[in-house]
Each structure stands twice: as C-alpha cells, then as structure tokens.
Amino acid sequence: MADFSAYRFGSRTLNLSRPQVMGIVNVTPDSFSDGGTLYEARKLCVDQAVERARQMVADGATIIDIGGESTRPGAAAVSLAEELDRVLPVVERIQAELDVIISVDTSAPEVMTEAAKLGAGLINDVRALGREGALEAAAATRLPVCIMHMQGNPLSMQDAPAYADVIDDVGHFLQQRIKQCHAVGINNDQIILDPGFGFGKTVEHNLRLLNNLRQLQRFNLPLLVGTSRKSMIDHVLKRSVDQRLAGGLATVAIGVQQGGHIFRVHDVKETVDVVRMTEAILHERRLDND
C-alpha cells in the first residue's frame, strides 16, 4: 500500500493515512444546497466567503474547496471570465489569511492555471480533466488532481442513468482517466479518485458504491467521498436539503469504515466529530486529532 502520511498539496502536506475533512465554499449564486448565500445584491461577498472558510478551519477542516460553477442538474453555464472573477479573489484571500490547503473545484484549464499561481494546492474536477486542454494545464501546475466519475454531463446526468455494474463501470472509467493522467506526466502520487456520488447515478447506484467503496482501493490512490446534503439522502429519508445532516453523517461513518480518505462536506464541525468517533471505534482506542 502507498504511504499517504505526508501527501503533498503544493507547498503543504497532509496526513491522508487518516480521514480528513474538506469544507465546501461555493462562490456561486445557484448551487443546489447553499447557492447565493455568499451574495449580496447579486454580488459575491469575498469577505463573507473568507469568514466561512475561517470558521470551517476552526471546526477542523484541513482542505477548503472553492467552486465557481454549479454542477447541479440543469445548472446554467458559467463564462470563463465569470468563473475567474468568482474564484480567484477568494483563493488569494484564503491563501494569505488561513493555514489550510485550498482546493479549486473547476473544469476550466485557465482557472486551474491562475489558481495554482495564487497558491491553490489541489485541482478538483468533476469532469475528470475531460475539457480540452485540462489535462495539460493540470500537469503544468504540478499539483495533485482529483478526478471524478460522472455519467453524461450536468445537464443530462440524471436522465435515467444505467450501468452493467456500477462498481465495475466506475472503476473502468477511473482506470482510463488514470492512464490519461500518466500520459501527460501526472503520476500516482498526484491523483485522488472520486466515484462521483450523485453524478449520473440513481439512489441504488449511490448506495451500492458507498457500501463497496473499498473495492476502489485496488488503485492504491486516495479516495474522496462527496455525499453531503445530496438527493440520495432525500430518496431514503424524505428530507429537504436543510434537513439532511443526520443522513449525511451516516454516509460519512460508512465512508470512513470503507476506507475513504477525504470527506467533502458543508457541515464541517459535525463531520469531524463523526470521523474521529468512527476512527476510535474502528481502532478501539482514542486517537490524537492531528
């Protein structure tokens, strides 16, 4: 097994041999869960975004994920200029003010390049570096990348998704993208995998993936789990977005048990508690909060 105890994210390192929590800061007006909460009179409030990130770090987040384009089903397209205007000021401020790894949730090569210059430590791409020029741009930053599985695209991904076997199909897709990363010089020590919960999958697909997440450990790469507030929880519990915390925490506990390394969430404090308590149970001892 690879040693993830000092995983490098640009100028910072993080111990991924223990589960870590990534806090979500959506600088978008239309994200499915918290869209528009950082906007005043339709203008992004950078100070408020930084304060949200600051609270997440205080609550135990070791990575902050900044996204300037909503990928919810049916979300409107965002111009490159708009995405740059949303993301870069927040990256710059957080880099200057907080001791935390910055992840940029983007598919745009130009955003990857500019965010890396400002100190971002991770490129998190729901399109798995599939846009023209994205592979090359990501490789040039020399940063780690998180590549995610998605069937279809954000506009169509929930239109009757189907798989021969969701675990095998997701694994095959990720394997092909890993090969593409290798071809441009992105090595295994720079690749994180995300099975893409909620991206082109029914609730049954999502539950099967989570319950069998450990099968993706065959790639010997860190795994990111993003189930926070997603509709899979509603399908099981019949809960609106603002009532999905308990269901989401249950998915985190199973994700830790199944070997997940990074948990991308909106509710950092509660998630950190669940992660650490689940660890203690699995190891049958109290662990230091490093």
- Mean residue pLDDT of the chain comes to 92
How far apart CA 225 and CA 255 sit, in angstroms, is 7
- Positions marked catalytic: 230, 264
Q: Is residue 21 scored above 60 in pLDDT?
A: yes
Tens of pLDDT, residues 128-146:
999 999 999 999 999 999 9
Q: What is the pLDDT of residues 41-83, one digit of tens each?
A: 456 788 999 999 999 999 999 999 999 988 766 666 789 999 9
Q: What is the pLDDT of residues 72-131, one digit of tens each?
A: 666 667 899 999 999 999 999 999 999 999 999 999 999 999 999 999 999 999 999 999
Q: Tell me the two tokens of residue 35.
A: 């869209």
C-alpha–C-alpha distance, residues 22 and 80, integer Å: 25
* Edge-to-edge order in the sheet of strand 145-148: 191-194, 145-148, 122-125, 101-105, 63-67, 20-26, 262-265, 224-225
Stated as kind and residue range, the H or E segment containing 213 is none
Please state, in angstroms and rounded to a whole number, the distance separating the CA atoms of residues 200 and 159.
8
| pLDDT score of 153 | 65
Residue 69 is given by DSSP the state S
Residue 160 has pLDDT above 90, yes or no: no
Of the candidates 214, 245, 216, 211, which has an alpha carbon nearest to the alpha carbon of residue 228?
245
Measure the CA–CA gap between 63 and 121, rounded to whole angstroms.
9
Domains of the chain, start order: 19-283 (3.20.20.20)
**CA-to-CA distance for 272 and 60, rounded, in angstroms?**
6
- pLDDT of 29 reads 77
CB 68 within 8 A of CB 74: no
Residues 6+ apart with CB under 8 A from 111: 68, 80, 83, 84, 87, 88, 104
Q: Which of 57, 141, 60, 54 is nearest to 106 (CA)?
A: 141
Residue range 166-178: mean pLDDT, rounded: 97
Residue 33's pLDDT is 54
| C-beta separation of 141 from 116 below 8 A | yes
Q: Where are the alpha helices (DSSP H) in 71-165?
A: 80-97, 109-117, 134-141
Predicted TM-score (pTM) above 0.95: no
Strands (E), the chain: 7-9, 12-14, 20-26, 39-40, 43-44, 63-67, 101-105, 122-125, 145-148, 191-194, 224-225, 262-265
Mean pLDDT of 269-276: 98
Rounded Cα gap, residues 263 and 169, in angstroms: 22
CA distances from 247 to 18, 237, 238, 270 (A): 22, 8, 10, 12
Cβ atoms of 207 and 232 closer than 8 Å:
yes
